[in-house]
Amino acid sequence: MDSSILSKTYQQPQSNILADVCALAAKMDNVIDLSVGDPNFTTPQPIIEAAFEKAKQGMTHYTAAEGLPELRQAICDFYHSKYQLSFDPAQVLITVGAEHALFIALEAILDPGDEVIVPEPCFSPYLEQVKMAGGTPVIVDGKAADGFKIDAAEIAKKVTPKTKAIVINTPNNPSGNVMTAEEEQALAKLAIDHNLLIFSDEIYADYVMPGKQFTPIAKFAPENTVIVSGMSKSFAMTGWRIGYLIGPDWLIRAANDVNDAVTFSAPTMSQEGALYGLQHHDELVAPIVQAFQKRLSYLQEELPKISWLDVSPVEGSIYVFADIRATGLNSVDFADQLLKKAGILVVPGLAFGKCGEGFVRIAATQPLDKLEEAVEKMKKLTW
């Protein structure tokens, strides 16, 4: 038997820019890895201990498919106290990470041919997920000149009778932008006027630079918004795989039906850890967020001193999207050469969409001394 048994979609291996660069890096020693969006911190100890204790007490079974009732309630409490948004636990579904949350929600709403508008540059799985759920992704190219802002007017141009949803991500991976309340209001109005859903990926909600503010778009389009978020980034819990959806109860019910056929419930011990984390959000998240703010401020200040690099202001997330057009190289060649010449691994902007060409994403997921080492190495390079 050979691979021709694979579905037609998977018979031609798809190019995966990030995987190619990482494969090269894996063969090298002493690489400074600024590629992955995985905070370098270990999950706060009290979360680990709380989950471990619950496991020892016998919390080793499935939970309800929708998730632990206490965790769904804790998510509602958190949104109420932090953002003054009122949700009912029936509007919350616990998932195996935010990525899984978005997929089952798309699967629940899309019929073949339905369109989903995706502003680029973006977290690349969005496009694949729309296609896997039977829809057609419709891309809106961001503009380097305005720092790749998500622009409701540009999105409006792509709305057709087949459009069902828009996927946004703020604070943004990879651009580092945070949408303003005015920008969100304009998008909310568009969604309400055209009866569209907004899938709002808020996984970096806690990562906002001083002076900037994140407002959930659900404030402006409560009936049209589906929040996609999770524990991975704020609590350095990427490996625990806990995310969630918050949306209209009819959508949550359908997403839960989809999920019944996929994973049933999210891991029980991880849900227990997430519950402890959310109940102690501020004290556990603050040190992690502060460390990232310090790193991003450092990169923001030092990178523009390199003649062939430019950086627009970082408003949030854990990334800097750096302009490398002055090198004359495309982003894939640049990343390849940066790895070979300086042992630094970054992600080519092309991995986030065609409009990301000429940029690379630098993740601040290494301690400050490693970032300093990387910057010193970059300062010595010429192209």
Site residues (vs ligand PMP, CB under 6 A): 37, 97-99, 123, 169, 173, 201, 203, 230, 232, 238, 243
The smaller minimum CB distance to ligand PMP, of residues 168 and 375, is found at: 168
The smaller minimum CB distance to ligand PMP, of residues 50 and 98, is found at: 98
Q: How far is the CB of 382 from ligand PMP (least distance, A)?
A: 32
The smaller minimum CB distance to ligand PMP, of residues 327 and 365, is found at: 365
The smaller minimum CB distance to ligand PMP, of residues 32 and 98, is found at: 98
For 79, 151, 154, 235, 325, the CA distances from 183, given in Å and listed in that order, are 21, 7, 12, 28, 28
The smaller minimum CB distance to ligand PMP, of residues 169 and 312, is found at: 169
- Angle formed by the axes of helices 331-342 and 17-26, to 10°? 10
Is residue 134 within 8 Å of residue 111, measured between CB atoms?
Answer: yes
Is residue 138 within 8 Å of residue 110, measured between CB atoms?
Answer: no
Is residue 377 within 8 Å of residue 345, measured between CB atoms?
Answer: no
Q: How far is the CB of 1 from ligand PMP (least distance, A)?
A: 33
Q: How far is the CB of 326 from ligand PMP (least distance, A)?
A: 27
Place of tokens 């080793």: 60
Q: How far is the CB of 98 from ligand PMP (least distance, A)?
A: 3
DSSP for residue 209: -
Q: How far is the CB of 318 from ligand PMP (least distance, A)?
A: 9
Q: How far is the CB of 364 from ligand PMP (least distance, A)?
A: 13
Element (H, E) at 361: strand 359-363
The smaller minimum CB distance to ligand PMP, of residues 230 and 316, is found at: 230
Place of tokens 């979609």: 9
* Torsion angles phi and psi, residue 49, rounded to 5: -65, -40
Is residue 335 within 8 Å of residue 198, measured between CB atoms?
Answer: no
Count of helix runs (H) and strand runs (E) in the chain: 13, 13
Q: How far is the CB of 320 from ligand PMP (least distance, A)?
A: 14
The smaller minimum CB distance to ligand PMP, of residues 201 and 302, is found at: 201
The smaller minimum CB distance to ligand PMP, of residues 269 and 306, is found at: 269
Comparing every residue's Cβ against ligand PMP, the nearest one is 97
Within 148-203, strands assigned E span 163-169, 197-201
Q: How far is the CB of 271 from ligand PMP (least distance, A)?
A: 13
Q: How far is the CB of 204 from ligand PMP (least distance, A)?
A: 7
Q: What is the DSSP string of 260-306?
A: HTTTSS--HHHHHHHHHHHHTHHHHHHHHHHHHHHHHHHHHHHGGGS
The smaller minimum CB distance to ligand PMP, of residues 186 and 236, is found at: 236
Instruction: Return contacts of 72-77, CB within 8 angstroms, 24+ apart.
Output: 74/275, 74/278, 74/279, 75/244, 75/246, 75/278, 77/278
Please tell me the number of Cα atoms within 13 Å of 330 on its side-chain side. Answer: 8
Is residue 228 within 8 Å of residue 200, measured between CB atoms?
Answer: yes
The smaller minimum CB distance to ligand PMP, of residues 169 and 327, is found at: 169
Q: How far is the CB of 123 from ligand PMP (least distance, A)?
A: 4
Give Cα 331 to chain centroid, integer Å: 21
